[in-house]
Structure 1
Amino acid sequence: MTRIGFLACEGTLPGSARRREDAYEHDLYIGALEPALRDAGHELEVIDWESPLEAFARIGLILLGTVWDYQDKEAAFLAKLDALEASGAILCNGADVVRWNIDKRYLAEMAERGVPTVPTLWVEEATAEDVERARRQFASEQIVAKRQVGAGAEGQFLFGPDNPVPDGWKSPRPMMLQPFLPAIQSEGEYSFIFIDGAPSHVLNKRAAVGDYRIQSLYGGTEVAADPTQDDITAAQYAYDSLPFPSPLYARIDMVRGPEGNLLLIEAELIEPYLYPEQGPELGVRLANGIAKRLEAQANSTT
């Protein structure tokens, strides 16, 4: 029996005094994965990613899980992943994948590969002048400002006629400025889940009335989706354009652009929620992918 680690954080660990309102997603994730791993002869252990290295001594493979605070502890997080890989543990997804994916400038690289993406102005310290420049560049009254290293819409702003940039506003971190796409409210966002190189399931995420953020933390909801063939092809092309062959998991998030085609918002490869409610085979698919990686490591050491 191999112990499989599932990394969590203070905000998602059961029993934490500072547990997030959306931490029920952690519970659903574990509920789908634990029995599938048990049936495969493995034991799942949830562990805080900030635990001492000794706590991982007997864990053979580590899932990044629900490390939903890494964006505020980037250096420490990357250092821990390096240390875990150096200890011989398999990371899913690996530290090289995380380094590429942690800064959203990877989207510019995806665009260079021909993946349609949301137009973006990259700035180190965004100011009101940068927002105005983005308005002119994208011919959009509404501009979304996001952290380049961020997650879950934290530290995100929507500027427009009804919510102007505050006087003297300056972002504390490098930001990305994008035109607001109305489809995020009218049609929602699509998430295409891939497990071990193969499509798994697709869902449509909708924001609460009066909001544009689709995360459950802000009242967003999601349902299983049956996309068109054109949309499936767009998502597959984005997935195939990743610079890593068949990561254990990937979530391709897309929204419809003004010309009617899907645009890549994010390729989530670090700690995305994978929506087991809409993908009942998720646990088994992940368990099978984990088994392949454990077998490959065992064969490489014999």
Structure 2
Amino acid sequence: MTKPKIAFLACPDTLPGSPSRRPDAFEHDLLLGAIRAGLDGRADLHAIDWRAPMDQLTTYDLAYLGTPWDYTEAKDEFLERLDMLEAAGVIVANPAPVIRWNSDKLYLRDLEQCGAVSIPTLWPQSAGPDDVVAAFDHFDCDRVVVKRRVGAGAIGQDSFTRAAPPPADWRIDQPAMIQPFLPAIQREGEHSFIFVSGQFSHGLIKRAALGDYRIQSLYGGIEVAVDPAPADRQAAEAVMAMLPFAAPPLYARIDMVRLDSGELAVIEAELIEPYLYPLQGAEFGVKMAEGMLGLVG
């Protein structure tokens, strides 16, 4: 019987040997290694640029969105490529409709409307200094965070205070979101809950380096595995249950932060190309392998 072929879609920023490889691309290596170990020879797994020629990509049975971390600068091209793969009979995980919904952070408003505990947010079509100053009064706070609606890894993200507002020439010339800064990010950290095939896999807390608030490894953040408290796990599972899809995605990472009330609020439901922290989940590689093999039959 022919073994299935699985493409681990990546990009020049993450592929080994690339002159533009990012400092945090070791996460690519860890994720790929964990899944390969879990497959244990039952499928052929290859890392390949998501922009590779279609005649190469369509030789695979499954395309897993491993580390295509540059898609945010070419969202339409990326979505079109996923549509083409599915039209050619390649299983895409997560599927193109899931990616399309998740590619604009406006999906957080959908989750809030479904009852998810959320962070108050403004949604300007672009953001300039006046928007930030107005947000201080709107939220009655002294610090805000401004993000791109299409973005990842805190790239293009800024934080401002009333005492140090943005300079006059600062602007995000694309759809943006503004939120009050939550001190729990620095005090406790960001909670991440990893799900595989709809089932909870493992949890961790990501903490920023001293003096920073960004928890990604690119900025010196660290991760600590945790066994989530029952109420915290239930909060993440509630967000999973609100996803507007008939079947659970192969993988999901629900990122949350604690409010002053003690509840966890959703920061992101990461369904596109999240790092899934295999070092913090001893059985993660096996669970992902089983999920992938289940998709290819």
Query: Normalized against structure 2, the TM-score is what?
Result: 0.97
The aligned runs of 1:32-43 (5 Å cut-off) are 32-39=34-41, 41-43=42-44
Q: Is the 8 A contact 2:136 2:162 kept in 1?
A: no
SS at match of 2:278: coil
Q: Is the 8 A contact 2:120 2:179 kept in 1?
A: yes
Match of 1:156 in 2: 157
Equivalent-residue separation in structure 1 for 2:66 and 2:172 (angstroms): 29
Residue 260 of structure 1 aligns with an amino acid whose one-letter code is G
Gaps of 5+ in 2: none
The aligned runs of 1:240-255 (5 Å cut-off) are 240-244=241-245, 245-255=247-257
Match of 2:70 in 1: 69
Equivalent-residue separation in structure 1 for 2:109 and 2:187 (angstroms): 26
Residue 38 of structure 1 aligns with an amino acid whose one-letter code is D
SS at match of 1:85: helix
RMSD over aligned CA atoms reads: 0.9
SS at match of 1:204: strand
Residue 81 of structure 1 aligns with an amino acid whose one-letter code is L
Equivalent-residue separation in structure 1 for 2:240 and 2:273 (angstroms): 16
Match of 2:237 in 1: 236
Equivalent-residue separation in structure 1 for 2:83 and 2:232 (angstroms): 36
Match among 274, 281, 285 for residue 279 of structure 1: 281
Match of 1:15 in 2: 17
- The answer to whether structure 1 residue 187 and structure 2 residue 193 are counterparts is no
The C-alpha deviation readout for 1:244-288, integer Å capped at 9, x for no partner, is: 221000000000012111000000000000000000211110111
Pair 162,34 (structure 1): closer, same or farther in 2 beyond 3 Å: farther
Q: Is the 8 A contact 2:93 2:250 kept in 1?
A: yes
Residue 130 of structure 2 aligns with an amino acid whose one-letter code is E
Match of 1:299 in 2: none
Q: Is the 8 A contact 2:58 2:85 kept in 1?
A: no
Residue 285 of structure 1 aligns with an amino acid whose one-letter code is K
| Ranges of 4+ aligned residues in structure 1 off by more than 3 Å | none
Equivalent-residue separation in structure 2 for 1:20 and 1:162 (angstroms): 33
Match of 1:216 in 2: 217
- The answer to whether structure 1 residue 136 and structure 2 residue 137 are counterparts is yes
The C-alpha deviation readout for 1:55-100, integer Å capped at 9, x for no partner, is: 1132000100001111001111011111111110000000000000
Equivalent-residue separation in structure 2 for 1:76 and 1:50 (angstroms): 9
SS at match of 2:289: helix
Q: Is the 8 A contact 2:202 2:227 kept in 1?
A: no
Give the C-alpha shift of residue 162 in structure 1: 5.0
Match of 1:300 in 2: none
Deviates more, 1:104-113 or 1:122-131: 122-131
Residue 96 of structure 1 aligns with an amino acid whose one-letter code is P
- Aligned residues, how many? 294
Equivalent-residue separation in structure 1 for 2:102 and 2:210 (angstroms): 31
Equivalent-residue separation in structure 2 for 1:195 and 1:226 (angstroms): 16
Query: Normalized against structure 1, the TM-score is what?
Result: 0.96
Match among 260, 265, 271 for residue 262 of structure 2: 260
Match of 1:119 in 2: 120
Residue 208 of structure 1 aligns with an amino acid whose one-letter code is A
Residue 178 of structure 1 aligns with an amino acid whose one-letter code is Q
The C-alpha deviation readout for 1:18-71, integer Å capped at 9, x for no partner, is: 1000000000011101122234x1010110001110111320001000011110
SS at match of 1:30: helix
SS at match of 1:115: coil
